[in-house]
Amino acid sequence: MKTLFFSVCLFLASVSATAQQRYSQEMAQSQGKQWTHGKSWDYVNGLVAKSLLNLCEQYQYADWTGNYYQWAKEYADNAINPDGTFKNFKKGNIDNINSGKVLFALYKREKELDKQNGTDNASRYKKAADFLHDYLVNDCSRIQSGDAKGCFFHKDIYPDQMWLDGLYMGAAFYAEWQANFEPDNEQAWTDIAHQFKTIARHTYDKDKQLYYHAWSANPEDSNSFWANKTEPYKGCSKEFWGRGMGWYFAALVDVLEVMPKTHADYKELVTITNTVAKGLKRWQDKTSGVWYQLLQYDNSYVGECGIANYLESSASSMFTYAYLKGVRLGILPKSYEKVAEKAYQGLLKTFVTSNNDGTINLNQSCRSAGLGPAKDPSRDGSASYYLCGKDVTIVSNEGKAIGPFIMASLEYELKK
């Protein structure tokens, strides 16, 4: 009887493990290739490629991960030459740094394979990562005055602007490079922390407990037409956009994972992360467990075009990922496990659907959103823009949601 009992237990454990793997693996299998294979160097494609590499690493490069690793590798190889130089890197946009995160995992894995095979395939990825790091640190445009001096422009066409998105694109890559190659560089970690501390100081609304999408150090500039011109929240955009806060929350936990705990700014970044977590808990939809496109409203808010505020999958996936990872790393208290559990189950129930061929979809994502520049006054940061803007449509299987969903699923699977 004991033998039978233990056999049943092992069988059930195996079934449970297989079931828990389903969503990271099946989303990768269903949607990973279309966002990576043969694609150009772009932050969205890089986000999905990074999630595929995370999956490979978490499951120790199991046989079934082979395709996912190859898709991510081919994505990087499509952008860089064999000697590690970029084929067509476009400067002036911090978004283009984000894809560089795939280079660290590729370098690590290819070094292992080089030792086994007597080859030298890894060095190209290190050289490419070094180029991106040097460009970001030494050549990217930075704000030149005030308490934000030294903070990166989001793009050159958006002078003196910081967006929450940019912390995930630039600072998080910067931190991963430092952790891999110069972990003891105190000045670099101070520079990284400065980006987070500055945007937190300027965009946090203590009454709503949320962060505005963007801030301009020069709100009178024509490209910052969307910014508040007076206090309070001078320079801030008008609304709390879900995905913007998702980028910021995810960037915080990713940076704190690798930042030396002894650094003078470490505790302050932990405090900021907990402030983000507390605010988002307040605005989590009580019924579904996920979050709205515009965080401070429910679906009773309707844009000028007649589209109502909606539960949105990319932000909800990013929040779920950050809560789960933050708790696992001890950055957030364990009390947030309930928030994360409800959120993850909400992702599955609210956004995931199945197809007849066995693939799955992730629905209800905002395709894109931004602010300005001056030549595009329709991108004014109003609540109605985030629902009705010409570039703000609701789509399925958007890479900005696929990557974070895979990452959230991997975190969830770690705790099972």
Radius of gyration of the chain (CA): 21
Buried residues in 184-208 as b, exposed as e (16+ CB within 10 A): eeeebbebbbbbbbbbbebbbeeee
Joined together, the tokens standing for residue 137 give 């640190």
Task: Say what the pTM is.
Answer: 0.95
* In the predicted structure, residue 12 carries a pLDDT above the cut 90: no
Query: If you average pLDDT over every residue of the chain, what do you get?
Result: 95
Which pLDDT score is estimated for 13? 36
Q: What is the pLDDT of residues 33-90, one digit of tens each?
A: 999 999 999 999 999 999 999 999 999 999 999 999 999 999 999 999 999 999 999 9
Nearest one of 69, 86, 68 to 78, comparing CA atoms: 86
Q: What is the pLDDT of residues 334-391, one digit of tens each?
A: 999 999 999 999 999 999 999 999 999 999 999 999 999 999 999 999 999 999 999 9
Q: What is the pLDDT of residues 219-243, one digit of tens each?
A: 999 999 999 999 999 999 999 999 9
